[in-house]
Amino acid sequence: MKSERSPATVRKRECIVTEVVDPVSILSMQTTVSIPGMHCESCVALIKDVSAEFGEISRVDIDLGAKRVTLEHADGFDTARWRREIESLGEKYKISSVI
């Protein structure tokens, strides 16, 4: 004789998400460039502002003394497009090298 379970004895399986992981942080890459014309906090703010328009960028670190910008970004990020946007700000924002 086959026993049947009543609805009261059926256990539900639950899946509880304890942490949401941002896929960009898992697959992040890093690009560092030199911008010799950067000279003040306004330059830093402008570069951060333009970089914020790129959803693939998860972090922007700027070392004003060394005149370096380090980007953490998703794999496949269009660095050439970012570079064009930064350099369109003016002559002092020309990127001299990718480190």
Q: Which domains does the chain have, with CATH numbers?
A: 23-98 (3.30.70.100)
pLDDT band at 1 (very low <50, low <70, confident <90, very high): low
Q: How is residue 92 written in tokens?
A: 């002092």
- Spatial neighbors of 76 by CB under 8 A, at least 6 apart, are 56
Using one digit for the tens of pLDDT, what is the confidence trace for 38-90? 999 999 999 999 999 999 999 999 999 999 999 999 999 999 999 999 999 99
Helices (H), the chain: 23-26, 41-51, 79-87
The larger pLDDT score, comparing residue 18 to residue 93, is at 93
Q: What is the pTM of this model?
A: 0.71
What's the confidence (pLDDT) of residue 4? 56
What pLDDT score does 24 carry? 44
Q: Which residue has the tokens 């333009």?
A: 50
Phi, psi dihedrals of residue 77, rounded to the nearest 5°: -60, 135
